[in-house]
Amino acid sequence: MDGLLLEQLLRSNPRPPVSAPPPSPPLFLLPHHHDEVPAPPPSAAASTDPLSFREAPEFRNGETCSSTHNATIHIAMTLDGNYLRGTMAAVLSILRHSTCPENVVFHFLWVRHEAEENVLAAPEYCHANFTRYFSQEFWSDSELSRTFEGRQPCYFNTGVMVVDVEKWRNGNYTQKVEDWMVVRKQKRIYHLGSLPPFLLVLAGNIEPVDHRWNQHGLGGDNIEGKCRGLNPGPISLLHWSGKGKPWLRLDSKRPCSVDHLWAPYDLYRMSKHSFEE
């Protein structure tokens, strides 16, 4: 759809004389994907921080607008990371110039990176001591210790992970994990519970995910009473993994500093946290 046709559609009804908005900048349209987009400056290209946008005002229909289905205008846009900022500007421009902005429906077709052969995606923590999850009996067994040959295994937290279910089923991964659990019954080859068999099957073949999607370990260490703070940088998901749960610490009047982030969402009727008093 070219700019002229789009503008004609959006201006198909005359603007109400009373509620007409003030003059706005011209309508912006995104280039097609075959158009060349200038490369971002080095400082922007090197940044891995997500884009942040200001919140736009609400746009309401004019008095002459119809609410029927036939009055809806559908606009499709294709984009990837390079086009996101331009897309946001185009959407705002269209809404500001439309007499009936509430009748405009946007459809976004985006390009996303998918794991190629990996069945699982998760944040990885390669600085963690990977060997401590397995016993001396495992590492002293010449056959078992070769399990990770050809891989660069890193710790990942099984509490937050993305699984390609089709690949998981086709690769019979449930059986692979359970096979290691059978070995564990015969030999004490690893400590803990669910994590080691996942590491044995998948470690080194994980599609990496940004660490912001699993701020784990907030359960801290209940044995020594240690609390853990938040890591620096952006956070999208808080994970109270570990033995210390926020509701138990709050009820015992011994909360960690991060527990106040959980308390406002506690719907238990008998609870009244000090944060709310």
Q: What is the DSSP string of 35-100?
A: S--PPPPHHHHH--SPP--PPPPP----TT---SGGG-EEEEEEE-GGGHHHHHHHHHHHHHH-S-
Whole-prediction pTM: 0.55
Residues paired with residue 190 on neighbouring β-strands, in sequence order: 134
What's the pLDDT score for residue 23? 41
Instruction: Note the pLDDT of residue 14.
Output: 42
Instruction: Name which of 171, 122, 130 is nearest 151 in CA terms.
Output: 130
H or E element at residue 120: strand 120-122
pLDDT of residue 224: 67
- Do 89 and 172 lie in one domain? The reply is no
Same domain, 72 and 126: no
Domain with 131, as residue range(s), is: 120-208
Give the mean pLDDT per block of 10 residues along the chain (277 residues): 43 42 40 44 50 83 79 85 82 89 88 71 88 92 92 89 93 96 93 88 92 89 73 89 87 90 82 53
CA distances from 264 to 130, 219, 261 (A): 36, 17, 7
Write down which residue in 90, 110, 130 finishes a domain.
Answer: 110
In a domain, residue 221? The reply is: no
Same domain, 93 and 140: no
